[in-house]
Amino acid sequence: MRRIISILMENEPGALSRVVGLFSQRGYNIETLTVAPTEDETLSRLTLTTFGDDEKIEQITKHLNKLIEVVKLVDLTDGAHIEREIMLVKVKATGSQRAEVKRSVDIFRGQIVDVTSTVYTVQLTGATDKLQAFIDAIGETQVLEVVRSGVSGISRGEKVLNL
């Protein structure tokens, strides 16, 4: 099962490499990974997605919790949550395709953020499956370049991950 694990960790050199190293050391997969400082400059927030059954995820979270720099951790997929990823895509856009691409962008509530005579650069936000659906709709042959931010997430409601 796919999981979104969100971690508050000390904003210190080496912390990220310990998290990433743990995954390779113990043979776990990381599908996406994002990390950035938070409003508290001593803390970073790291979000990663991974796959595994309950036992494997339990081991992953236990080992993450053992890392000295990991302050707090939550498996967002345990409860209601909001998941977002941002994607920038360069799409071929010539002739009649220009209008068609524009229509798809509108349907997916994306924005065209850069234009040349042959290319649109599209920005899209959403859950991972929505971003994939856009690529499928445009058709892989039309897509020149894709860059994704990796998943970020936050719990719904009043639950917060802080100190």
Partner 1 sequence: MEELSGGEMVVRALADEGVEFLFGYPGGAVLHIYDALFQQDKVDHILVRHEQAATHAADGYARATGKPGAVLVTSGPGATNAVTGIATASMDSIPMVVISGQVITDWIGDDAFQETDMVGICRPLVKHSWMVRDPRDIPEIFRKAFYVATTGRPGPVLIDIPKDMTAPHNRYPYEYPEHVHMRSYNPVTRGHTGQIRKAVNAMLQAKRPVIYAGGGAIQGEAHEVLTRLGRQLNFPVTNTLMGLGAFPGSDPQFLGMLGQHGTYEANMAMHHADFILCAGARLDDRVTNNADKFCPNATLVHIDVDPASISKNVPANIPIVGPVDQVLGEMLAMVEQSEQQPDQKDLDRWWEEVQGWRQYHALRYDHDADGPMKPQHVVETLYRVTEGKAYVTSDVGQHQMFAAQFYKFDHPRYWINSGGLGTMGFGFPAAMGVQFADPDAMVACVTGEGSIQMNIQEMSTCLQYGLPIKIININNQALGMVRQWQDMQYGGRHSQSYMDSLPDFIALAEAYGHVGMKVERAEDLEGAMKEAFAMTDRLVFMDIYVDPAEHVYPMHIAGGAINDMWLSKTERT
Residue 122, both tokens: 């599209």
Residue nearer to partner 1 on the CB measure, 43 or 124: 43
Residue nearer to partner 1 on the CB measure, 7 or 89: 7
Residue nearer to partner 1 on the CB measure, 18 or 98: 18
Residue 55, both tokens: 């036992």
Continuous segment of H or E residues that includes residue 161 = none
Please answer whether residues 131 and 124 qualify as being in contact, where contact means their C-beta atoms are separated by less than 8 angstroms: yes
Minimum distance between the CB of residue 73 and partner 1, rounded to whole angstroms?
10
Of 94, 81, 55, give the one whose Cα is nearest residue 153: 81
Q: How many residues does the chain have?
A: 163
Instruction: Return the residue matching tokens 């999981």.
Output: 3
Binding site for partner 1 (CB under 8 A): 9-10, 13-14, 17-18, 21, 25, 55, 58-59, 62-63, 65-66, 68-71, 163
Minimum distance between the CB of residue 25 and partner 1, rounded to whole angstroms?
5
Minimum distance between the CB of residue 63 and partner 1, rounded to whole angstroms?
5
Residue nearer to partner 1 on the CB measure, 10 or 31: 10
Minimum distance between the CB of residue 31 and partner 1, rounded to whole angstroms?
22
Q: Where are the strands (E) in the chain, listed by range?
A: 2-10, 32-37, 43-51, 70-75, 81-92, 111-115, 119-126, 143-148, 152-155
